[in-house]
Structure 1
């Protein structure tokens, strides 16, 4: 964290061409950091777009192993943000956001069942938005997709959480000791 900086930060996990510009300017003191989480243009992206359109936790373990850089970059943006509130988002509120939340909650020491409950809560909280857009019930859609792969949301997430060793994952993939200390302080203060 940089001394003397205060305010809030928004970490936008969408690809640069994915979002619309803000309809109104952000208030002073709110910084926006764009950290695209999807490795667009890679074989990984093409592969998983064909399986689940990167719309379920099924791709999380592969993403963590094959593309740790964007995950660490998003964590770094949170660690380096000025003192104050930090929020992060993607387009749907459950996929990229869900992966980053899983990583942060695992680092903070949340129990696997708490992380899974947090992920599932997103479906409930986002239901009205998807209804307004005329989109299919996302919980039903993801549940059905994972059933074709002989798994469930809960089992997929539990497997991902069990494979994630913290803080070794972040430190081994480029997060510095100073960034880790700043992140830990932000998550536990």
Structure 2
């Protein structure tokens, strides 16, 4: 994480304008291993940002290269869990199975940077720094992400403190994982 910083896409759009920001992203980022992740940044992130529907952040190095990006938002989910698990998720404040959670909507690593040093724990540290700020301003106890249901990916997130969460109405066969930060 040394010599990396997080740059708000919103700030970039305000500074450069939509067209120049779009051109910069198209020239600077690629993720052929996950076309959905690439497509979101190149085709949707600016629109989500200007509509204030989600906040995208770029992790950049000293040279201004995009190493990775992530998108944060809120989401309401319905969970199917035991009473004790629900108590843990809500800190005992609610018995409702509907939860408003902080969502890590996208995480993408840039293939255009040769020997890209960004690793998931580093990216998560950048994410946690932004989530900490959001929690102090807005609240929000539970952090979730939705990922492909592949053993390798699930294990990678489990190694980074995420646990599987049973939700009702999960989309596209994705698995929902959660953690409760103790910043």
With normalisation by structure 1, the TM-score equals: 0.29
Give the number of the structure whose residues are more often strand, by fraction.
Answer: 2
Give the number of the structure whose residues are more often helix, by fraction.
Answer: 1
With normalisation by structure 2, the TM-score equals: 0.30
